[in-house]
Amino acid sequence: MSVHHLRTQDTRAIAFAGDQPADMRPDLVIDDVLPGDDRMWVPLDEGTWSRPLHFDVTHGQYTHVMRVTKHGIIARHRHTGPVFAHVLRGSWHYLEHDWQAREGGFAFEPPGETHTLVVPDGCREMITLFQVSGALIYVTPEGVAIGYDDVFTRLAKARSHWAEVGLDMALLESMIR
């Protein structure tokens, strides 16, 4: 005996006419994930920048594009939540794994993992979209905590940088949910 699942859809090109939830936040659409205005890139370290896209301060999550124009070790860190990564340009890997994240690829990093991000020799530019939940705890090779970043520290860095370079703060504030 076979089981058939019926899925009925109304595919007419007619917009939804009902009410949306009263407390729903408006859509967030960013047309320039890789912006032409270099001021939008928040410096994190020498040769490393972040392009903020979304700050979810209720759930402790942020989404950003990381751009790196140097090779070598970028950061050793432990995750308190899951991370999703989509490599837009270049490549990177972790010293602790034998896989390499390459252009067009996707990586999932589980909560609790500690690893050392490396951009390999010969990679002129690495650009990856990261969706980060929780904090990144920066650690020594032995695992001793030496710093951290989370949605609040990344938001503070973005606010400070955008104010310093004269960008429209309303755009940044619209990214906070």
CATH 2.60.120.10 describes domain 46-169: yes
pLDDT < 50 stretches in the chain: none
According to the model, what pLDDT value does residue 6 have?
76
- Please state, in angstroms and rounded to a whole number, the distance separating the CA atoms of residues 135 and 149: 6
Predicted pLDDT at 137: 98
Q: What is the pLDDT of residues 135-176, one digit of tens each?
A: 999 999 999 999 999 999 999 999 999 999 999 999 999 999
Backbone angles phi, psi at 108, to 5 degrees: -115, 130
Per-residue confidence (pLDDT) for residue 111, from 0 to 100:
97
- What single letter denotes the amino acid at residue 62? Y
The Cα 50–Cα 129 span in angstroms is: 10
From CA 47, how far away is CA 168, in angstroms rounded?
Answer: 24
> Distance (Å, rounded) from C-alpha 112 to C-alpha 82?
8
Amino acid occupying residue 124: R
HSE, side-chain direction, 13 A CA sphere, residue 127? 11
Torsion sign (Cα): 170, 38, 148, 109: positive
Q: Reduce the DSSP state of residue 173 to 3 states and report it.
A: helix
Instruction: Say what the pTM is.
Output: 0.91
- Please say whether the beta carbons of 78 and 139 come within 8 A: yes
**Domain limits of the chain?**
46-169
- What pLDDT does 57 receive? 97
- Residue 48: the pLDDT is 98
- pLDDT score at 8: 85
Which pLDDT score, from 0 to 100, does residue 2 have? 60
CA distance 171 to 177: 13
